[in-house]
Structure 1
């Protein structure tokens, strides 16, 4: 992986950790998530930032890791949050935070810990 991809993964990792901390702080409860606008907004902004960073990953990196991570869906989630905020489905954001973000965090951990370098 090139240095630019590594830097973006470090930032993605940080946003995943932020989401994990929000879930720990506010609770793993969907009702709380929907009713507490700060919780919803904080998670949504992190998901948006993750998508923005994923968009900046090199085509080569996304191609090499596409079987491990659905980059197109991650980027699409960013666009959905950015352009249809008033119509966001809180359940989808919640499912992303609870089910998909831990997987992305693990993916980043594994690449960043090993210092994997594909070049």
Structure 2
């Protein structure tokens, strides 16, 4: 698997966890009050954020430098806080991450994935055209 394919695979897994966050919000309701008082809701979201942070750490440095509109280091930092200092996580900050940052991350990653698929399809079509010309 090439570096590019590995990064795309990681992005697809990240977007899966972003969808899991969205589904969890739909299940429990998009309410800070419910989020702040329901530990099951917070724990489900926190696990997804932990996984997103872990996966982002496996993206290549070249990828993170090229697609630097996302604060990859902060995503990993949040993962570390959730994993090692869960009791100190600010519920309001976590909620803002869930409602603002995760949807943006999902959209951004989906855009990269779609661009990759278009380029991949163009490459396949060009290879097929080259075969016919010979």
Structure-2 residue corresponding to 1:43:
45
Structure-1 residue corresponding to 2:110:
109
Structure of greater relative contact order (alpha carbons < 8 Å, 6+ residues apart): 1
Tell me by how many angstroms 1:79 deviates.
0.7
TM-score norm. by structure 1 comes to 0.92
Count of residue pairs the alignment pairs up: 116
In 2, distance between residues paired with 1:97 and 1:86? Answer: 18
Structure 2 segments unaligned to the other structure (5+ residues): 120-134
Larger Rg: 2
Structure 1 segments unaligned to the other structure (5+ residues): none
Structure-2 residue corresponding to 1:92:
93
| Other structure's SS at 1:56 match | coil
Structure-2 residue corresponding to 1:15:
17
In the TM superposition, 1:4-83 aligns within 5 A as 4-66=6-68, 68-83=69-84
Tell me by how many angstroms 1:8 deviates.
0.6
Q: Deviations over 1:2-52 (max 9, x none)?
A: 111111101100000000111111111101001111110010010010000
Tell me by how many angstroms 1:88 deviates.
1.4
Tell me by how many angstroms 1:104 deviates.
0.3
Tell me by how many angstroms 1:99 deviates.
0.4
Q: Deviations over 1:57-84 (max 9, x none)?
A: 0000000011x21111111110111110
Give runs of ≥4 in structure 1 deviating > 2 Å.
none
Tell me by how many angstroms 1:91 deviates.
1.0
In 2, distance between residues paired with 1:114 and 1:82? Answer: 33
